[in-house]
Amino acid sequence: MPIKTVAIMGVGDMGHAVGQALRESGFDVISCLNGRSEHSRNLAKVAGIRDIGNLELMVSEADIVLSIMPPSSAEGFGNDIAAAVKGSGSTPMFVECNAISPDTTRRVEAIILGAGAPYTDAGIIGSAPGRPGSPPRFYASGPDLGPISELDGKGIKVMPMGDEIGRASSIKMCYAGLTKGTTTLLTAVATAAESLGITEELGAELASSQSAAYEGMKRAVPRLPLDAGRWIGEMEEIADTFASAGVTDRFHQAAREIFLLLDGTPFASETRQTFDTSRTLEDSVKVYVEHLGKSGD
Question: Mind listing the pLDDT tens digit for each residue in 98-108?
Answer: 999 999 999 99
Q: Give the DSSP H or E segment for 138.
A: strand 137-141
* Chain Cα centroid distance, residue 170: 14
pLDDT score of 175 more than 90: yes
pLDDT score of 35 more than 90: no
Query: Which residues contact residue 144 at a Cβ distance below 8 angstroms, ignoring those fewer than 6 apart?
Result: 93, 118, 120
Question: Is the alpha carbon torsion for 40, 43, 47, 51 positive or negative?
Answer: positive
- What phi and psi, each to the nearest 5 degrees, are found at residue 257? -65, -35
Comparing 5-163 with 170-290, is the CATH topology the same?
no
Predicted local confidence at residue 272, as pLDDT: 82
Contact criterion met (CB below 8 Å) for 105 and 71: no
Question: d(Cα 191, Cα 90) in Å, to the nearest integer?
Answer: 51
Instruction: Give tens-digit pLDDT for 48-86.
Output: 999 998 999 999 999 999 999 999 999 999 999 999 999
Predicted local confidence at residue 131, as pLDDT: 83
Please report how many Cα atoms fall inside a 13 Å half-sphere around the Cα of residue 45, on the Cβ side: 7
Contact criterion met (CB below 8 Å) for 65 and 92: yes
Predicted local confidence at residue 150, as pLDDT: 97
Predicted local confidence at residue 295, as pLDDT: 61
How many other CB atoms sit within 10 Å of the CB of residue 273?
8
Architecture of the domain whose range is 5-163: 3-Layer(aba) Sandwich (3.40)
* Whole-number average pLDDT of the chain: 96
Please name which of 24, 34, 37, 46 lies closest in space to residue 84, comparing C-alpha atoms: 34
pLDDT score of 264 more than 80: yes
Average pLDDT over residues 157-181: 98
Average pLDDT over residues 244-253: 98
The domain 170-290 is classified under which CATH number: 1.10.1040, 1.10.10, 1.10.1760, 3.40.50? 1.10.1040
Query: Can you state the percent helix, strand and coil of the chain, rounding each to 5?
Result: 55, 10, 30
Determine which of 28-37, 53-62, 214-223 has the lowest per-residue pLDDT on average.
28-37
Sorted by where each begins, the domain ranges of the chain are: 5-163, 170-290
SS3 for 282?
helix
Predicted local confidence at residue 286, as pLDDT: 98
Q: Exposed, middle or buried: residue 282 (CB in 10 Å: 0-12, 13-18, 19+)?
A: middle
Contact criterion met (CB below 8 Å) for 139 and 171: yes
Predicted local confidence at residue 37, as pLDDT: 82
The DSSP bridge partners found for residue 28 are 5
* Chain Cα centroid distance, residue 127: 10
Please name which of 27, 96, 91 lies closest in space to residue 59, comparing C-alpha atoms: 91
Average pLDDT over residues 17-31: 97
